[in-house]
A and B are shown apart, each in its own frame.
Chain A
Amino acid sequence: MLDISTWFNDLLAGNTIFTADTLGYYWEGLVTTTQLVFLSLIAGLILAVPLAIMRSSKHKWISLPVYLYTYVFRGTPLLIQLYIIYYGVVFIDGIQETFLWPVLREAFYPALIAFTLNTAAYTTEIFRGAIKATAQGEIEAARAYGMSPRLMMRRIILPSAFRRALPAYGNEVIFMLHASAIASVVTLMDLTGAARFVYARYYAPFEAFLFVAAIYLCLTFAILFFFRYLEKKLLAHLRPQDA
């Protein structure tokens, strides 16, 4: 342990900007960014599945409200959505008396809510596209087996739709990672927030932002490789067969 810390100190020796202190800020930022992106993606995914099923419904009164939701959230900048939730949450009647207030007062939760609603809207549209692209023959076969619509959705349509949605969803995950940078605007110390802090403290824009850009690049590549691996596993049956 001592070896590692002396090695680390030697490495940082003579470096005025990247001290152990500064790297600590970046580390905290990495943790915040990861939490924010991961939690909002999970929550967004859970919301998006039922919404996508509703959105593909034949009944206008079911699909239209979902369409309006995705239209508004995909048509306006995430920054505006974040501001509305961050500044607007105070104005919900009586919120300040409830047990939720200490939680919602911090910037993390408004940001999490905004990101979740945003990614849920995009994911809904991705899933809807995948559901719509289900081969007619599969549906006919399921009907011929006497499956109820509910069983057909669960056993036939959704499993194949999820696989088809995988490449597009991978893009959405990367998009969300990049979009999460705006959390720093509402005083959150995410990765970008850490970079802004280091920039302000040392007036060293190139060091502060290039370093954080490199971290984002690594994260992006990690997500890219993860999804490529998933696609290889889950979409194996769609690959052209070797001769």
Chain B
Amino acid sequence: MIDLQGYGPRLIEGAGVTIQLAVLSLILAIILGLLTATAKMSRNWFLRRTATVYTTLIRGVPDLVLMMLLFFGGQIGVNAISDMLYYNYDIDIYINFNAFAAGVLTIGFIFGAYMGETFRGAFMAVDNGQIEAGKAYGMSSSLVFRRIRFPQMMRHALPGLSNNWMVLLKTTALVSVIGLTDMVRVAAEASRATHEPFTFLLPVAVVYLLIASVSEWIFARLQKRYDIGFGGQ
């Protein structure tokens, strides 16, 4: 076995942080993505514009720059708001800027833009006749969404969703730069301290490959489930 020189428990803890961060940001990104896709397809001019600006700006700027902006700017922004509340309304609160929450918010916010594009394409791929049929049955629009549009949309969205998830997983490594103790940060610290970079960085790379392989398998199962009724397409 490899001698991790006592960094083993911290590396495992870091792996936990990576996985939690990735899963929570994925959930946030899916919610934001659904909202963005809905806004992009809405008849309201303002909503459409806002969603387009959001997806264009986010996808035009590096993740790391956005992260630094939100991490370093976030605390200053939060302080300014609590100062404002104190001076103007005499409300005395102190909001602590939690690094983990900031990480989830940033990554979720970034990937919400990518998910928005994926979902929009998938929603448009659902045959309009299906939706009309649902309405003809007297279904409310929320019921149409739940029973007809969403399940059929997912079939088209899954390949893009899986792709986004793989990129998101790798993006979580960037939080180590900003101060969150994920497994990359632990490995980098250990490499510097012990002068044995391969001992720590290679196992972390393997963990990423493992997570990617497991999620590939899960997505293949999901695809099979949502392909039901489309006979092996």
Q: Name A residues whose Cβ lies closer than 8 Å to a Cβ of B.
A: 71-72, 75-81, 83-84, 87-88, 91, 177-182, 184-185, 192, 195-196, 199, 205-206, 209-210, 212-213, 216-217, 220-221
B84 within 8 A of A: no
Residues of A with C-beta under 8 A to B9:
none
Q: Chain A residue with minimal CB distance to B74?
A: A205
**B76 CB to nearest chain A CB (Å):** 6
**Which of B36-44, B60-68, B97-105 makes up part of the contact surface?**
B60-68
Given A83-B191, A91-B197, 4 further pairs, Cβ under 8 A: A72-B205, A77-B171, A181-B63, A213-B61
C-beta contact mask, B190-218 vs A, less than 8 Å → 1, else 0?
A: 01100001100110110011001100000
Q: Are A84 and B205 in contact (CB under 8 A)?
A: yes
Q: Are B198 and A91 in contact (CB under 8 A)?
A: yes
8 Å CB contact of B69 from A81, A84, A213: A213
Q: Are B208 and A205 in contact (CB under 8 A)?
A: no
Q: Are B170 and A181 in contact (CB under 8 A)?
A: no
Whole-angstrom CA separation of A203 from B174 in the bound complex = 21
Residues of B with C-beta under 8 A to A180:
62
Q: Are A181 and B184 in contact (CB under 8 A)?
A: no
Q: Are B176 and A79 in contact (CB under 8 A)?
A: yes
Q: Chain B residue with minimal CB distance to A178?
A: B62
B2 within 8 A of A: no
Q: Are B69 and A76 in contact (CB under 8 A)?
A: no
Given A75-B212, A205-B69, A210-B69 in contact, is the A80-B173 Cβ separation under 8 Å?
yes
Given A75-B209, A88-B198, A206-B73 in contact, is the A213-B66 Cβ separation under 8 Å?
yes
Residues of A with C-beta under 8 A to B172:
77
Q: Are A181 and B62 in contact (CB under 8 A)?
A: yes
B222 within 8 A of A: no
Residues of B with C-beta under 8 A to A83:
184, 187-188, 191, 197, 201
Q: Are B174 and A79 in contact (CB under 8 A)?
A: yes
Whole-angstrom CA separation of A212 from B67 in the bound complex = 13
Q: Are B201 and A205 in contact (CB under 8 A)?
A: no
Residues of B with C-beta under 8 A to A71:
209
**B13 CB to nearest chain A CB (Å):** 18
